[in-house]
Amino acid sequence: MLSYIVRRLLATIPVMGIVALFVFSLLYLAPGDPAAIIAGDQATVEQIAKIRASLGLDQPFVVRFGHWLWQIVHGNLGTSVFTGQPVSTMIAERIEPTLSLMVLTMLIALTLAIPLGVIAAWKHGTWIDRAIMIFAVLGFSVPVFVVAYLLAYVFGLTFRLLPVQGFTPLAKGFWPFLGTLVLPSLALGAIYVALLARITRAAMLEVLAQDYVRTARAKGVGQGGVLFVHALKNAANPVVTVAGLGVALLIGGTVVTETVFAIPGLGTLTVNAILERDYPVIQGVVLLFSFTYVLVNLIVDLLYSVFDPRIRL
């Protein structure tokens, strides 16, 4: 398995190279000029040109790409054309909020969705099943920002239980940290609860119809044992696949949530960088996201073999 992991990790290098070239080319060809944004509304064309030259944005594609690649190879993601800060620092500052939001969201999603899916499958065709599926449809249908506003209104403004915006780092205390994450995680988690509950239910229904489940019941295994020991483990692979995809999708989902709750994470960093055409920041963030995506896929593949020993890597 170790050689498999090493091979997969090595395979990320050309992937990242292709991503780097693609992103750089795309940004080069895309309209927009950070120099014009920096100069502001009152600038003249001449002033913009001077700023562009001072930033090196007037250089040809090959020179700019070569310079950037050289920096990357040396572990340097460059500096923001606006703030002048190192991109790596800007990313590092934002990993904690985004990672915390993602972890808590997935925790909420898995904790709620799997039992809900199992119960829905167990009570298949009853009002409980239908109620869970109605909730799932709602979770899919209501946009994240609507859920976010609703939660902020109820828990932030009406009952004054939780802050409506901001982020407190873990270093400043666990409860303040958790307090700022609860509402965003619930808002972002709704769709994943819905998604995973439906997948769990579908996978469980298929497994519950298998002969070995009937055998387990015939041997006198209790309902809990059947559901959570025999059935759930065999239904886990589709759930793991979707959960893995969910982690990747969360990267996009955090953009809206971070904006609504004013969380200084990678999502808001990306949006701001795109709107301002802060090329080094966009490139750095996309590289990070691509690497995360590859890593999540690797973890999902490894988990397959854990849940199903028949799968050999």
Partner 1 sequence: MMKRRTLLGAVAGGAAAAALPRPAISAGASVLKFVPQANLTLFDPITTTAAVTQNYGYYVWDTLYALDEHLNTHPQMAAGHTISDDQRSWTITLRDGLTFHDGSPVRAADCIASIRRWASADPFGLDLAAVVASYVVKSDKSFEVRLKKPFPLLASALAKPASNVPFIMPEHVAAQPASKAISIDQVIGSGPCRFEAKEYVSGNRAVFTKFTDYVPRPEKPSWAAGGKVVNFDRIEWHVIADPGTAAAALQSGEVDWWELVLPNLIPLLAANKDVVIGEGNPTGYMGCLRFNHLFPPFDNVLIRRAVMLSVDQSAYMRAVTANNPKNFTICHSFFPIGTTYGVPPDPDPMAKAPDLAAARKLIEEAKYGGEKIVIINPTDFPSIQPFGEITYATLKKLGLNVQLVETDWGTVVERRASKAPIDQGGWSIFHTWWEGISLYNPAVNPILLGQGLEGWFGWYKSEPMMALNAGWLTAPTATDRHAIGAKMQALGFQDVPTVPLGQFFIRTGYRNTLTGVIDGAAPYPWNVRRA
Point out which residues bind partner 1 (CB under 8 A). 31-33, 36-48, 50-51, 53-54, 80, 82-85, 90, 93, 149, 152-153, 155-157, 160-168, 172-173, 175-176, 178-180, 182, 259-262, 264, 268-269, 272, 275-278
Task: Quote the least distance from Cβ 272 to partner 1, whole Å.
Answer: 5
Nearer to partner 1, 156 or 225 (CB): 156
Q: How far is the CB of 38 from partner 1 (least distance, A)?
A: 5
Closest CA to 68 of 247, 228, 281: 281
Closest to partner 1 by CB, 17 vs 173, is: 173
Minimum distance from CB of 42 to partner 1 (Å)? 4
Specify the residue, 176 or 225, whose C-beta has the smaller distance to partner 1: 176
The tokens describing 176, both together, are 């303040």
Handedness of CA 147, 92, 55, 63 (dihedral sign): negative
Distance between terminal CA atoms of the chain? 6
Which residue lies nearer to partner 1 by CB, 272 or 305? 272
Contact call for residues 271 and 255 (beta carbons, < 8 A): yes
Q: Which is nearer to partner 1, 93 or 129 (CB)?
A: 93
Q: How far is the CB of 179 from partner 1 (least distance, A)?
A: 4
Smallest separation, CB 159 to partner 1 (Å): 8
Give the chain's length: 313
Residue 79 backbone dihedrals phi, psi, to 5 degrees:
-125, 155
- Computed over its alpha carbons, how large is the radius of gyration of the chain? 24
Strand partners, 26: none
Between 118 and 255, CB nearer to partner 1: 255
194 touches 136 (CB < 8 A): yes
Contact by Cβ (8 Å): 268, 256: no
Smallest separation (angstroms) from partner 1 to the CB of 112: 13
Determine which helix (DSSP H) or strand (DSSP E) holds 304, and give its type and residue range.
helix 279-307
- Residue in 192, 188, 169, 159 with CA at minimum distance from that of residue 259: 188
Long-range Cβ contact pairs of 155-162 (< 8 A, separation 24 or more): 155/182, 155/183, 156/183
Q: How far is the CB of 64 from partner 1 (least distance, A)?
A: 17
- Three-class secondary structure of residue 79 per DSSP: strand
> Which residue's CB is nearer to partner 1, number 41 or number 211?
41
Residue nearer to partner 1 on the CB measure, 268 or 283: 268
For 225, counting Cβ atoms within 10 Å of its Cβ (0-12 exposed, 13-18 middle, 19+ buried), the class is: middle
Q: How far is the CB of 148 from partner 1 (least distance, A)?
A: 9
